[in-house]
């Protein structure tokens, strides 16, 4: 027993050491990538993209299920985006609240007899509506499909543009976000088949009439911690993975895809829980099997602002669902593991996702349990425990601080010195007790997956009705 505890403790130490060395590599890569992107931004003339008659149209697909609190503001904000040839496709996925009624009242919707072809599978569509006041607006009313993926497919079917932008109904894009992300795509339209932008927390910011007036840091500790998480996940993780052309995920809150490729790949898997990770993995699979020369990019400056959960119950449900969806997508694509046919995706990216993302909660639980047992039996080595704290927590804190500083050096959405100080402070206190709560939520997600609980549970939202989103 004692020998097992000793082996387990050392295994956990080396696991954390390996994970944090990978994160350090990602941080260094992200800094290099960000520097390159900053130089590219200096030579970009967004006005040329806006004014060019060759700029391709975009259809923004917004799935909505019981979004009456924010749907009108979100649609207004999207219709006002600074992009030529813009189509907005709202998919009302069997809402039981006033989502469709709010849309009808504010946009003067009328039922239209339009051709709808099911290129990719979705639950039956019961009606399509147009607005005379906003010719670029299409509302698709459909039976509930039980997943965001199913609603996205209905939007892809109804869209008419060569590019699809998938946007959450509770999100706000900065006015030039589509122009900025398309600048990158159009720099190499044959190879770049998809791109994702950065997602940030809108809580605490000043929002009026669907427009972000002033980014501000939230006031609630639970929301501030999520700001740190989002900066680390996007500015560190996704920017680095994209540089190596191994981007595992484009956030379901904001991503642009070639529509023809989405259709050829079969669209979203309707039963997918984590539809964004699942889709990008299947896109990699499809393109690699076709031996296509391609890139899937991450663009760090087009910003999507989204409302993050402000209470523990909603946050726990969200994180459990994310873990559930990650495990589902990885298991369904497990045949790609360690197969040279799938290049770096099969030999590097997916093994990393399995070992350091999907199974990480189990490893951490076992490790913490054996450390507690070692302390109970009086065999916990003091030197080992200090090293564990350094490599397991202090190192990870420095990585988070590096992500915050990268934001301050490059894009500076938070301009007040007080905000930067608070973010760095929360990097230092992120691990107790938030990390333990996060571990519990992720374990719940694993348990839900193996018992077949795939239902989406509602999250509490404040909506965009107030000028200051303080929670």
452 φ/ψ angles, rounded to the nearest 5 degrees: 80, 20
15-27 average pLDDT score: 90
In the three-class reduction of DSSP (H, G, I as helix; E, B as strand; rest coil), residue 250 is classed as coil
30-44 average pLDDT score: 82
**Ramachandran region of residue 69, left (φ > 0), alpha (ψ -120 to 50) or beta?**
alpha
Q: In which band, very low, low, confident or very high, does the pLDDT at 96 lie, cut at 50, 70 and 90?
A: very high
Please name the fold of domain 59-313.
Spore Coat Polysaccharide Biosynthesis Protein SpsA; Chain A (3.90.550)
230-259 average pLDDT score: 94
- The pTM is what? 0.93
Q: In which band, very low, low, confident or very high, does the pLDDT at 245 lie, cut at 50, 70 and 90?
A: very high
Domain ranges in the chain are 59-313
Sheet of 86-93, strand order:
109-111, 125-131, 137-142, 86-93, 58-64, 163-167, 254-258, 192-201, 295-306, 171-173
pLDDT, tens digit, 9 for 90 and up, residues 345-377 = 999 999 999 999 999 999 989 888 888 888 888
pLDDT, tens digit, 9 for 90 and up, residues 378-394 = 888 787 778 777 777 88
User: For residue 463, what pLDDT is reported?
Assistant: 64
CA distance 84 to 339: 43
pLDDT, tens digit, 9 for 90 and up, residues 261-282 = 999 999 999 999 899 999 999 9
Of 350, 351, 357, 349, the closest CA to residue 323 belongs to: 357
CA distance 393 to 380: 18
pLDDT higher at 118 or 375: 118
CB-facing half-sphere around the CA of 217: CA atoms within 13 A: 24
pLDDT at 308 over 90: yes
Hey, what are 392's tokens? 């397991």
Percent over 90 (pLDDT), the chain: 66
pLDDT at 198 over 60: yes
User: For residue 470, what pLDDT is reported?
Assistant: 39
User: For residue 55, what pLDDT is reported?
Assistant: 92
CA distances, 202 to each of 103, 210, 421, 455, 469 (Å): 23, 12, 19, 26, 7
Lowest mean pLDDT among 33-47, 63-77, 352-366, 421-435: 33-47
User: For residue 467, what pLDDT is reported?
Assistant: 38
Find out whether 278 and 272 touch, Cβ atoms under 8 Å.
yes
- Residue 146 neighbours by CB distance under 10 Å: 17
Place of tokens 């997602």: 199
Find out whether 469 and 220 touch, Cβ atoms under 8 Å.
no
Q: How far is CA 342 from the centre of its chain?
A: 23
Hey, what are 433's tokens? 């007790």
**Ramachandran region of residue 183, left (φ > 0), alpha (ψ -120 to 50) or beta?**
alpha
User: For residue 151, what pLDDT is reported?
Assistant: 95
H/E stretch holding 87: strand 86-93
Find out whether 456 and 320 touch, Cβ atoms under 8 Å.
no
């Amino acid at each position: 027993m004692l020998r097992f505890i000793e082996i387990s403790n050392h295994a956990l130490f080396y696991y954390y050491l390996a994970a944090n060395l990978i994160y350090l590599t990602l941080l260094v890569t992200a800094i290099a990538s960000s520097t390159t992107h900053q130089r590219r931004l200096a030579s970009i003339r967004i006005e040329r993209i806006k004014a060019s008659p060759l700029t391709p149209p975009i259809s923004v697909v917004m799935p909505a299920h019981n979004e009456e609190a924010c749907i009108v503001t979100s649609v207004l904000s999207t219709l006002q985006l600074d992009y030529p040839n813009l189509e907005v496709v709202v998919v009302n996925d069997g809402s039981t609240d006033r989502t469709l009624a709010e849309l009808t009242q504010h946009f003067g919707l009328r039922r239209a007899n339009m051709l709808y072809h099911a290129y990719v599978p979705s639950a039956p569509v019961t009606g399509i509506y147009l607005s005379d006041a906003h010719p670029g607006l299409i509302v698709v009313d459909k039976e509930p499909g039980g997943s965001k993926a199913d609603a996205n497919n209905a939007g892809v079917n109804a869209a008419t543009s060569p590019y699809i932008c998938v946007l959450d109904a509770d999100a706000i894009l900065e006015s030039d976000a589509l122009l900025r992300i398309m600048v990158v795509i159009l720099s190499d339209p044959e190879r770049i088949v998809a791109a994702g932008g950065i997602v940030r927390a809108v809580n605490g910011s000043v929002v009026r009439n669907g427009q972000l007036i002033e980014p501000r840091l939230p006031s609630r500790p639970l929301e501030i911690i999520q700001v740190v998480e989002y900066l680390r996940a996007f500015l560190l993780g996704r920017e680095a993975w994209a540089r190596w052309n191994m981007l595992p995920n484009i956030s379901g809150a904001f991503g642009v895809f070639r529509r023809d490729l989405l259709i050829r790949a079969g669209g979203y898997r309707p039963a997918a829980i984590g539809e964004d990770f699942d889709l990008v993995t299947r896109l990699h699979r499809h393109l690699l099997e076709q031996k296509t020369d391609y890139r899937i990019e991450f663009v760090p400056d087009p910003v999507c602002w989204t409302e993050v959960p402000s209470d523990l119950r909603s946050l726990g449900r969200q994180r459990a669902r994310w873990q559930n969806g990650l495990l589902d997508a990885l298991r369904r694509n497990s045949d790609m593991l360690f197969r040279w046919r799938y290049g770096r995706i099969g030999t590097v990216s997916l093994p990393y996702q399995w070992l350091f993302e999907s199974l990480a909660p189990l490893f951490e639980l076992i490790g913490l349990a054996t450390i507690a047992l070692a302390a109970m039996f009086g065999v916990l080595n003091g030197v080992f425990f200090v090293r564990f704290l350094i490599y397991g927590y202090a190192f990870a804190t420095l990585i988070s601080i590096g992500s915050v500083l990268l934001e301050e050096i490059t894009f500076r959405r938070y301009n007040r010195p007080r905000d930067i100080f608070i973010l760095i402070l929360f990097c230092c206190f992120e691990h107790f007790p938030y990390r333990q709560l996060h571990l519990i939520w992720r374990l719940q997600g694993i348990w839900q997956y193996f018992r077949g609980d795939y239902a989406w549970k509602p999250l509490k939202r404040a909506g965009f009705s107030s000028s200051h989103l303080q929670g």
